[in-house]
């Protein structure tokens, strides 16, 4: 593969594209298109945007990802969590329903795309590592709950709003009296049908002889059936006149490419949300892409994925869209339906474009309650209480970051929730590594092994203190090292040698080196020699760049055994 | 020692206090008092505060530290770097010379004291670990340069201001035309004298037969001589009339204890600076205290030190003072002069109180230029270019955080400088640990040892991939692990077993556990079994709390050797 094909993967798979592959991709694309139409409309509504924006965000972004992405089967477009984050971010700077709101959504997509692109070009993908799994899964669960709660107002046909659980529930309780019964009937019917489709339809289809894969895909068509059925019901019984809120007239046609308006103050206000959307969207997308790629032993290139998702967002920004990323359900459908190359994404884009051109008039009578029910069923699969329990069992530290993220997201807002989780996990990580495990070790009799004196029957020498440090030494734990060695030495007045066993030390940074120098100096003042043992090659190479070894009062021994032999021998000679 | 004496160390050493110790402490206190008077005045001026505030901050805080601190010899009070940070923080919220400015300084000391106290009570001292050595030493060097540059205007007798190097230099260049020659003469004379005292006086005193320690202490009296001499010169030649700016009338008497005014908006504005001042002050103070304590094999208790320095700042806040911490030069003098207990601090406080009561009228004719010269000589010893070079040689990563701190401090301001350094060191730490060293290992022929196949002549089996991970597994590197193993496996189509050698893994957090589960699942999809070897006891105990081992396709082996023996044998049996 040449370098250009690394950056533009389409050049690689495109030149080997065959007719058979094309047929497979097209079949997959048709199925994904059918699934994506109601999803696009629903997620646009969730983001507080006009329904057509969802379709616009499902055309050019798919083409851009097909050109630049490395996953063969990832299906990008509007997704639930990013739509929620979009609503939260632009709800702060513009009023829903105004042109400014749409403009902010485009700018947000642009910022997010530009950030992802830059991270990809400068290989900064590691920034996504700030998001630990407990923070992400906590955030997704909380988002799912928040989204589902937020859709209830459409199901009841009442007004309401808010970006936190108390606001949403408060608004709902306040307005529940004015529930529209026709809307509620549609909403609950669709909800019941979708749950039936999800839980019971597949076994029934299998029973009548469908292949498992076909049955699986047919099951996913539930929302399309619901959309069609409720449009027909509205038209037949004129439910619009009975107060059922409908999607209404959707402009027919394709988005006119245009750059978003760059307002410096708006950019400042949207920068942090854009970064969070980029990272969350990227992390989610990559995990789907990697899971699917592994099944066929294919590779996902992380830095190139940043460029791929970034390009999709820039494409969304210039086609009146909003932030997009890889979606889980649709990618799995795409994969299962037999998509082999990103060309399937291009065919899907063509399908959505045709829908935007010709299908939109049919959607005017679609009740918002139908879309709300679709969203609720989709996002409740994001809510995963089992994960919360297993993290609780596994580690209280990880659980606390998850809990902070969930509570922060539900009660203070999505951005604060994520930031709280990230800050807390960094703090706790620092706390955890700031007190590395250190063991005073002694020799296992008759062997060359050294073990913790508190756990094993070992031999020690009265004037030698051997300490094993089970962690790399860096700024977060260097002060603890100073402090701990000071304490251990103060407790043992007869000590003349301290041996630091460095078998688990993979790195010594400048702070830790300073601390070692300080320890050496302090021990010297107390007439104690400091020795090192089992220092790894690369660590020792680096230490040799400094003057530490020149001032070291003791020696560097290859093994702890050698250290003890040497020091005991010199003791005996002196004695 | 009982628990109360842990929290109030004076109860411990106080009950064993003898007349001999008292004499030693008193001698030290007299010397420190003489040294502290000009320093207090100078640092108050540096903080933009009236001269007497420096004296006030050197009375009650010393008593508070003597009661709560754990260092026997640390001398607290106003110091250069904290004074600079104070000027920067309160310069943002009030105008120098107004009562609001002094009120803000008191509030800043209160906030800083309260934060340190809380950190001490909740054992949160590890937060100071966020400040790596390169960040701190970079910050101190930059602060030294900034302080020295800021004093030049007093030396030239011109107006000026600013909190960044460009502002300070710009102001100086603009006003240099109106230099007051009498002021400049005084300033440069004092500067020359102080440098002479610092560099040449000691050898001369030694030559005339003084003991080294006495000569050392006498050398430190340079500023007092300069103060006395310039006051006499001003009085004799009426230099005030020639435009030499003088300290002026300093109110005679002691501070009247009063709480600072608690303004919520002001608290919000000062919270971050207060936190930074607390951390920087604490880190500096502790490193001095530990160095001195080690010389006498004494112990410093970090959490108790937070309480000690916190109490000193609260005491400063209620006595019209400003933030204080342990000072390097004066602590060394205190130690060298023979101080044995914190009582020396109490005697010093009495000395300063007497000075505030009776000495202040004599100081009215003190030129500001004298104080400025004192500050310049003191802070230029903080500037350490050798450290910058050695960090550069040792590690480019550490150097980059140091450079960011220095440049940020000089050109953007002290707070931004520190924050830039901290954020960059966290980012780089995450980056560094996000790509842990991983080696594909093979068996050293004839032994049970396994080594990196790229560095040693080792034997490997064609269908077994053994990977050693040289780092704990946590959220920052778990994704890299997934990615790396995916790549290694994709490169070797004949692989049937992956053995993860965990000898250097001290911890597996929930994110890494998820990644291991994901790796296991992906390898399973590709018909590859995942095994672990040499998992440490505590790590394995924790992993057993999860369902990972239930789903693991392979086994957990005690040693890598056992793993290879077992897997090769089963191969042979299958073959």
Torsion of CA B140, B141, B146, B152, to 10 degrees: 120
**Across-strand partners of A76?**
A326
User: Between residues A445 and B218, which one has the greater pLDDT?
Assistant: A445
Q: What confidence score (pLDDT) does residue B549 get?
A: 94
pLDDT of B544: 93
Do B129 and A507 make contact, defined as CB atoms within 8 angstroms? no
pLDDT confidence band for B575 (50 / 70 / 90): very low
B-chain residues near A484 (CB < 8 A): none
Residue B182: its H or E element? helix B181-196
- Max Cα separation, chain B? 106
d(CA B198, CA A126): 50
- Whole-number Å distance between alpha carbons of B418 and B402: 10
Q: Which distant-in-sequence residues (6+ apart) come within 8 Å of A411 by Cβ?
A: A164, A165, A166
Q: Of B274 and A337, which is predicted with more confidence?
A: B274
Give residue B317's pLDDT.
96
Q: Give CA–CA dist B48/B55, Å, rounded.
A: 14
B265: number of Cβ within 10 Å:
8
Please give the Cα distance from B100 to B92 (Å, whole number): 12
Output the six-digit token pair for A422: 């990230």
Contacts of A504 in chain B (CB under 8 A): 504, 506
Model confidence band, residue B109 (pLDDT cutoffs 50, 70, 90): very high
- Partner residue facing A475 (CB), from B132, B297, B507: B132
Q: How far apart are CA A474 and CA B476, in angstroms?
A: 16
Chain A segment 376-405 residues within 8 A of B by beta carbon are: 390-391, 393-395, 397-399
The pLDDT score that the predictor gives to residue A575 is: 44
Q: Does A546 touch chain B (CB under 8 A)?
A: yes
Our CA angle for A471, A472, A476, nearest 5°, is: 95
Contacts of B133 in chain A (CB under 8 A): 475, 478, 510-511, 514-515
Most confident range (mean pLDDT) of A297-306, A378-387, B101-110, B131-140 is B101-110
**Is some CB atom of chain A closer than 8 A to the CB atom of B524?**
no
- The 8-class DSSP code of residue B197 comes to I
Report CB contact under 8 Å: A542, B510.
Answer: no
Q: Which residue has the tokens 């960040």?
A: B135
User: Across the interface, which of B134, B514, B526 has its CB nearest the CB of A510?
Assistant: B134
Which of B302, B394, B430 is nearest residue A510 as measured by Cβ atoms?
B394
Question: Cβ contacts (< 8 Å) between A134 and chain B: which residues?
Answer: 510-511
Q: Express the helix, strand and coil content of chain A in percent, nearest 5 each.
A: 65, 5, 25
Ramachandran category for residue A536: left, alpha or beta (phi over 0 → left; psi -120 to 50 → alpha): beta
SS3 for A451?
strand
Spatial separation of the C-alpha atoms in residues B252 and B231, rounded to whole Å: 18
- Is residue B515 less than 8 Å (CB to CB) from chain A? yes
Task: Tell me which residue in B431, B474, B504 faces A506 most closely, judged by beta carbons.
Answer: B504
Task: Measure in Å the smallest separation between the Cα of A479 and chain B Cα atoms.
Answer: 7
Q: Do the beta carbons of residue B548 and residue B524 sit within 8 Å?
A: no
**Torsions phi, psi of A209, nearest 5?**
100, 5
Task: Report how far apart, in Å, the C-alpha atoms of A363 and of each of A15, A235, A251, A356, A519 are.
Answer: 39, 11, 11, 10, 75
- Tell whether the model's pLDDT for residue B498 goes beyond 90: yes
The nearest alpha carbon in chain A to B288 belongs to A518
Judged against a pLDDT cut of 90, whether residue B221 lies above it is answered with no
Task: Please tell me if residue B479 touches chain A, with a CB cutoff of 8 Å.
Answer: yes
Taking alpha carbons only, the member of B105, B106, B65 closest to residue B89 is: B105
Q: Judge whether B451 is closer than 8 Å to chain A, CB to CB.
A: no
B490 shares contact with chain A (CB less than 8 Å): yes
Dist. CA B108–CA A324, nearest whole Å: 46
What pLDDT, on the 0 to 100 scale, is given for residue B240? 86
Residues 132-191 of B with CB under 8 A from A: 132-134
Asked if A134 and A399 touch (Cβ cutoff 8 Å), the reply is yes
Query: Beta-carbon neighbour count of residue B462 at 10 Å?
Result: 10
- For B298-324, how does the pLDDT look when each residue is reduced to its tens digit (9 = 90+)? 777 888 999 999 999 999 999 999 999
Distance of CA A507 to the CA centre of its chain: 28
H or E, element range at B152: helix B133-156
Of B224, B259, B164, B213, nearest to B38 (Cα)?
B224
Is B128 touching A (CB cutoff 8 A)? yes
Contact assignment for B431 to A126 by CB distance below 8 Å: yes
Of A291, A395, A526, the CB nearest to B510: A395
Shortest distance, CA A244 to any CA of chain B (angstroms): 45
Q: How far is A383 from chain B (nearest CA, A)?
A: 17
Looking at beta carbons, which residues of chain A come within 8 Å of B294? 486, 521-522, 525-526
CB B342 within 8 A of CB B71: yes
**Bigger pLDDT: B470 vs A101:** A101
Of B299, B393, B511, the CB nearest to A487: B299
Q: Where are the beta strands (DSSP E) in B69-205?
A: 76-77
φ and ψ of B330, to 5 deg: -70, -30
- CA pair distance B238, B226, nearest whole angstrom: 17
**Tens digit of pLDDT for each residue in A394-444?**
999 999 999 999 999 999 988 889 889 988 988 888 787 788 888 899 998
Nearest CA in chain A to B525: A295
Q: Which of A397, A434, A487 sits opposite B126 (nearest CB)?
A: A434
B475: which chain A residues are within 8 Å (Cβ-Cβ)? 129, 131-133, 425, 429
What percent of chain B is helix, strand and coil (3-state, nearest 5)? 65, 5, 25
Cα distances (Å, whole numbers) of residue B251 to B49, B81, B358, B359: 13, 26, 10, 10
Note the pLDDT tens digit of each residue in B551-570. 999 999 988 999 999 998 87
Contact A475 B429 (CB under 8 A): yes
**Closest CA relative to residue A325, chosen from A291, A289, A350, A379:** A289
Q: Collect all residues of chain B within an 8 Å Cβ-Cβ radius of residue A434.
A: 126, 129
Write out the H or E segment, with its range, that includes residue B226.
Answer: helix B222-237
Query: Do A546 and B432 lie within an 8 Å CB cutoff?
Result: no
| CA separation for the pair B316, A106 (Å, rounded) | 53
Phi-psi region at B246: left, alpha or beta (left = phi > 0; alpha = psi -120 to 50)? beta
- The strand pair at B438-443 and B464-469 is best described as antiparallel
Q: Residue A442 in contact with residue A450, Cβ under 8 Å?
A: yes
From CA B511, how far away is CA A132, in angstroms rounded? 6
Rg (CA), chain A: 30
The set of long-range contacts for A18-21, using a CB threshold of 8 Å and a minimum separation of 24, is: A21/A340, A21/A341, A21/A343
Task: Write out chain A's pLDDT in tens, 575 residues.
Answer: 446 777 788 888 888 888 888 998 998 899 899 889 988 999 999 999 999 999 999 999 999 999 999 898 999 999 999 999 999 999 989 999 899 999 999 999 999 999 999 999 988 877 777 788 899 889 989 999 999 998 999 999 998 878 899 999 999 999 999 999 999 999 999 999 999 888 888 888 888 888 887 787 777 788 889 999 999 999 999 888 888 999 888 888 899 888 998 888 899 899 999 999 999 999 889 888 877 887 776 777 888 999 999 999 999 999 999 999 998 888 988 888 888 999 999 999 999 999 999 988 988 899 999 999 988 988 888 888 988 999 999 999 999 999 999 999 999 988 889 889 988 988 888 787 788 888 899 998 888 888 888 888 889 988 999 999 988 899 888 888 988 998 898 888 899 999 999 988 888 999 999 999 989 998 998 899 999 998 988 899 999 999 999 999 999 998 899 999 999 887 665 54
Is the ipTM, as predicted for this complex, more than 0.85? no
Chain B positions in Cβ-Cβ contact with residue A525 (cut-off 8 Å): 294-295
The minimal CB distance from B133 to the residues A393, A398, A511 is found for A511
From B332's Cα to the closest Cα of chain A, the distance in A is 15
Bridge partners, residue B411, by sequence: none
The alpha-carbon gap from B488 to the nearest alpha carbon of chain A, in Å, equals: 11
Number of H helices, E strands in chain B: 26, 8
Which two tokens mark B368?
């500001």
Which position has the token pair 């020295």?
B148
Size of interface A-B (CB pairs under 8 A): 181
pLDDT band at B1 (very low <50, low <70, confident <90, very high): very low
Q: How confident is the model at residue B47, as a pLDDT?
A: 94
Tally DSSP H helices, then E strands, for chain A: 26, 8
The structure tokens listed for B158 are 């011109």
Cα within 13 Å of Cα(B84), Cβ side: 30
Mean pLDDT of all residues in chain B?
A: 89
Q: pLDDT for B9-42, tens place per residue?
A: 888 888 888 888 899 899 889 989 988 998 899 9
Alpha helices, H only, A57-132 = 60-68, 80-91, 99-121
Q: Do A132 and B511 touch (CB under 8 A)?
A: yes
Residue B574: pLDDT band (50, 70, 90) is: low
CB contact under 8 A, B546 and A394: yes
pLDDT of residue A256: 87
Q: How distant, in Å, are the alpha carbons of A9, A61, A70 from that of A12?
A: 5, 20, 10
Q: Is residue A173 exposed (0-12), middle (13-18) or buried (19+ Cβ within 10 Å)?
A: exposed
* B475, B478, B490, B513, best to mutate vs chain A, most A CBs in 10 Å: B475
């Amino acid at each position: 593969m040449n370098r250009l094909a690394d950056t533009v993967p389409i050049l690689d798979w495109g030149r080997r594209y065959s007719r058979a592959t094309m047929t497979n991709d097209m079949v997959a694309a048709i199925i994904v298109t059918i699934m994506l139409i109601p999803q696009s409309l629903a997620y646009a509504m969730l983001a507080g945007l006009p329904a057509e924006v969802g379709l616009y965000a499902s055309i050019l972004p798919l083409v851009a990802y097909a050109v630049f992405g490395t996953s063969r089967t990832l299906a990008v477009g509007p997704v639930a969590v990013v739509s929620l984050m979009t609503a939260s971010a632009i709800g702060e700077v513009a009023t829903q329903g105004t042109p400014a709101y749409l403009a902010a959504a485009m700018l947000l997509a642009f910022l997010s795309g530009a950030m992802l692109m830059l991270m990809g070009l400068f290989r900064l993908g590691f920034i996504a590592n700030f998001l630990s799994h407990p923070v992400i899964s906590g955030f997704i669960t909380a988002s799912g709950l928040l989204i589902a709660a937020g859709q209830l107002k459409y199901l009841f046909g009442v007004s309401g709003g808010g970006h936190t659980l108390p606001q949403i529930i408060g608004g709902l309780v306040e307005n529940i009296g004015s529930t529209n019964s026709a809307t509620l009937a549609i909403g609950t019917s669709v909800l019941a049908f979708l749950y039936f489709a999800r839980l019971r339809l597949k076994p029934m289809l299998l029973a009548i002889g469908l292949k498992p894969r076909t049955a699986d895909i047919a099951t996913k068509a539930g929302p399309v059936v619901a959309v069609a059925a409720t449009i027909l019901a509205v038209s037949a019984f004129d439910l619009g006149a009975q107060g059922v809120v409908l999607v209404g007239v959707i402009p027919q046609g394709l988005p006119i490419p245009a750059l978003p308006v760059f307002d410096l103050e708006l950019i400042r206000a949207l920068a942090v949300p854009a970064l969070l959307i980029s990272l969350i969207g990227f992390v989610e997308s990559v995990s789907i892409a990697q899971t699917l790629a592994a099944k066929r032993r294919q590779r996902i290139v992380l830095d190139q994925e940043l460029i791929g998702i970034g390009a999709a967002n820039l494409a969304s920004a210039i086609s009146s869209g909003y932030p997009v990323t890889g979606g889980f359900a649709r990618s799995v459908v795409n994969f299962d339906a037999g998509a082999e190359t990103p060309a399937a994404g291009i065919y899907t884009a063509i399908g959505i474009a045709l829908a935007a051109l010709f299908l939109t008039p049919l959607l005017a009578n679609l009740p918002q309650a139908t879309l709300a029910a679709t969203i609720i069923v989709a996002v409740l699969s994001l809510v995963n209480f089992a994960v919360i329990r297993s993290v609780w069992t596994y580690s209280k530290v990880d659980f606390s970051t998850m809990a902070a993220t969930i509570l922060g997201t539900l009660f203070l807002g999505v951005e604060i929730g994520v930031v709280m989780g990230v800050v807390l996990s960094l703090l706790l990580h620092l706390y955890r590594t700031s007190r590395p495990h250190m063991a005073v070790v002694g020799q296992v009799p008759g062997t060359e092994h050294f073990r913790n004196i508190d756990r094993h029957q070992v031999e020690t020498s009265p004037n030698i203190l051997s300490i094993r440090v089970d962690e790399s030494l860096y700024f977060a734990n260097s002060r603890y090292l100073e402090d701990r060695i000071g304490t251990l030495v103060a407790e043992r007045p007869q000590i003349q040698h301290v041996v630091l066993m460095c078998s688990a030390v993979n790195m010594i940074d400048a702070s830790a080196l300073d601390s070692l120098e300080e320890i050496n100096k302090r021990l010297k003042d107390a007439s104690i020699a400091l020795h090192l043992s089992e220092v790894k090659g690369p660590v020792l190479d680096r230490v040799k760049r400094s003057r530490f070894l020149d001032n070291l009062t003791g020696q560097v021994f290859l093994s702890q055994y050698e250290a003890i032999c040497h020091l005991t021998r010199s003791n005996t000679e002196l004695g």
